[in-house]
Amino acid sequence: MSAILAIIGRDLRLAARLGGDALTLVLFFVMVGAVVPFAIGPDRVLLAQLAPGIVWIAAFLSMLLGLDRLFRADEDDGSLLLLRHAAIPLEAVVAAKLVAHWLLTALPLVVASPILAVLLAMDQATWVDTVLALLVGTPALTALGTIGAAVTVSLKRGGLLAPVLILPLCIPVLIFGVAAIGAPEGSNAAFLFLSAISLVSVAFCPFAAALALRVSGE
């Protein structure tokens, strides 16, 4: 357990000292939300209708963009090689990296979501739904992302390959994520589906990603 906390603590500390890196993803998230009203015109009713979809697309894209960072730094300086021989299994290492990455790339988006809510003319109830859906759905995106990042970690210029690889797997998250926001009072099936997808992918993806990392040394 202390080893898992050590990885999370180290990644958070590194991100805090590097500063701007985590912020760029948030900026991208806000940017996507900000340009959409320009593209579809100042119709507040239409904007409010589209808002859940736009927020999810913005979150989706910025999380995919950040994927390459999951293992890249550890691969480049040789840490990943050593983590294979750590006292905890590689699967646990991946799970710890998953938690740290979620805290660094998904949580800031949730924090920044009020800005998008204002830009997209969301009402307060929709915004609360959006925050809940993002909190529940984004772990699935990070978890699926560990597979993509692990598969492409040995490619020096694999930057955008990981997102392309895992994009099809992420579509259900997007579908149920948007449905969970727009759901009428009393029907929470989409939200439950979203939770199920998150739980399953967080539980299984570290194993798949660890397997990919083990063969990536070839």
Partner 1 sequence: MAPIPPPPPALLMGSDLTLTRGGRTLFEALTVRLGAGEVLVVEGPNGAGKSSLLLTLAGVLHPDSGRVAGAEADAPHLHFLGYGAAVKTRLTVAENLAFWRTMYGPSGIDAAAALDRVGLAHTAELDAGVLSAGQTRRLGLARLLVSRRPVWLLDEPTASLDAAGSRLVAEMIDAHAAQGGGVVVATHEHLPLTANHRSLRLGAPQ
* Interacting residues toward partner 1 by CB under 8 A: 2-3, 6-7, 10, 13-14, 17-18, 73, 76-79, 81-88, 217-218
C-beta atoms surrounding 21 within 10 Å: 13
**Nearest of 67, 52, 64, 61 to residue 32 by alpha carbon:** 61
Query: Min. distance of Cβ 159 from partner 1 in angstroms?
Result: 20
Query: Min. distance of Cβ 73 from partner 1 in angstroms?
Result: 8
Q: Helix, strand, or coil here: 196?
A: helix
Residues 6 or more apart whose Cβ sits within 8 Å of residue 122: 48, 51, 116, 130
Query: Min. distance of Cβ 103 from partner 1 in angstroms?
Result: 18
Q: Running DSSP on this structure, what letter comes out for residue 78?
A: T
Query: Min. distance of Cβ 49 from partner 1 in angstroms?
Result: 45
Q: Are 67 and 149 in contact (CB under 8 A)?
A: yes
- The span from the CA of 76 to the CA of 94, in Å, is 16
Report the residue number, 96 or 190, with the smaller CB distance to partner 1.
96
- The span from the CA of 61 to the CA of 32, in Å, is 9
Report the residue number, 114 or 217, with the smaller CB distance to partner 1.
217
Query: Min. distance of Cβ 156 from partner 1 in angstroms?
Result: 14
Query: Min. distance of Cβ 42 from partner 1 in angstroms?
Result: 44
Report the residue number, 34 or 207, with the smaller CB distance to partner 1.
207
Report the residue number, 68 or 129, with the smaller CB distance to partner 1.
68
**Nearest of 129, 136, 128 to residue 106 by alpha carbon:** 136
Report the residue number, 72 or 178, with the smaller CB distance to partner 1.
72
Report the residue number, 92 or 169, with the smaller CB distance to partner 1.
92
- The span from the CA of 213 to the CA of 150, in Å, is 5
